[in-house]
Structure 1
Amino acid sequence: MRDYRDLREIRARFPKRIEEAAAIRRRRPLIGERDQLMIIAADHPARGALGVSGRPLAMGSRIELLDRLQIALARPGVDGLLATPDIVEDLLLLGVLDDKVVIGSMNRGGLQGAVFEFDDRFTAYDTATIVRMRLDGGKMLCRIALDEPGTAATLEACGAAVSELAGEGLVAMIEPFWSTRAGHDLTPEGVIRAINVGQALGATSARTWLKIPVVEDMERVMRATTLPTLLLGGDPGDTPDLAYAAWRKALRLPGVRGLVVGRALLYPPGDDVAAAVDTAVAMLEVS
């Protein structure tokens, strides 16, 4: 495990190098040689959601997370990263984001377990910074809870962000959930409701992509939208083989444009990050 002494020194003495690294980063088209994308997600820590498969602080070490992210991003077939500014900036300084799609995570204010969890404030990236840092789009979590007043502000803010990103020609990635305090409604009906609300946010959906979980009856779920859709990997728990089988099947459905996976690949059973990433990449369709 590296100690990242140089990274710490740059952050302390030469913070301007972050924007300099962003200015020279080699960008790429959103969709490359394949019709489907493999994006590594790393925005859970900003919500205080650090647990993986029964380990409550698995993602608590930034040093270990950076080690794992660099392994994942270096694997053949990995197209990019979805993360908050702190993680994106570390990886920019480490020089590992050239030729990658980079999506900035925007609303991380609804901290896990907080009384204000459904008031999902935009506390991370905003559109202006996404543009200035030459990222490829912004992602927003949109939990819809009918008994939580904070949902209204979240919907309004997500709609505004979709409009702003589209105005800059950038992807707006929406992760909609029909939710309660007890958790997300992961029935097909719950996901379909969430999709229909999420895809209507903003003044245009021309640049909107969806990020949805893999649930039962995905064929019916995918009939709810014509938007490009990425599958949320989530935490597969103790049954990764079953999760992988479900991903593989869902990836063959019309409109599915790939995977966005974080914890399942960065902290897999046995801790072989490279093997877990390679398994996921192998599921994607070749154009």
Structure 2
Amino acid sequence: MKILITGGAGFIGSNFIRSLIQGGKDYQIINLDKLTYAGNLENLSDLDHLPNYEFVRGDICDGKLIERLLGSGIEGVVNFAAESHVDRSLYEPDVFIQTNVVGVQILLHEAMRHKVKKFVQVSTDEVYGSLGPQDPCFCEDCPLAPNSPYSASKAAGDLLARSYFKTYGFPVVVTRCSNNYGAYQFPEKLIPLFVTNALENKPLPVYGDGLNVRDWIHVEDHCRALEMILEKGVPGEFYNIGGEGERTNLEITQTILRILGKPDSMIQYVTDRPGHDRRYAIDFSKIR
């Protein structure tokens, strides 16, 4: 199967490519990445020599490039390409709209024109909004209530994907995963940032009271779920992916400090960010 993986030099994308290749299945992979600040070709430098792997530098908003790539016999698309840092979306929302909405529409339309057999839109649990302490977990039928420009742009991309299935019968699947951690994550995210700061004896800036809750999943577990969805996912369906790993930000911070032998006095409470969702929790029973 020849597949186009967009955003494949980023955190989750590079782990997914590595997972597919190490799995030994017959995939021919084209990795399209714009190489913004969060993309790093060193993540996959050991794969450059492989005959079934090719890297192309480019933007999913470049319609002519997308048309050329999809015209080369691509059978599947997995779209990781996205602006994904919530804090940045508060100050540069236009960048998020361009990639996460316009770019998705261009990909969908060209993939449909070239009769791609499966399109996987990789999204986030943040599109559901925020939960209270006793609220049940998000399921796929929960209404969308995004609270940041980032999550709003991802929700828009999800709905575009849905519309291409409903209107044109195009075989789209949408996944929504909880917070990932693992190798190759850019150090603007909580775990790698705090590990780096602690090792350098810098303060660990915790928003608000630190009691915001996230459900954590290792990136390799996420990638295994995505491969299953690429192969077996039902067109038109949405699939939540979670790890049953609810932790407060403060718990994560204290765990990092304990493992590294650093004192809790390195925690620095800072003003909470606008629209900071209190809790995410995922019901992923559908995919089991």
TM-score range, shorter chain: 0.3 to 0.5
Larger Rg: 2
With normalisation by structure 2, the TM-score equals 0.36
With normalisation by structure 1, the TM-score equals 0.36
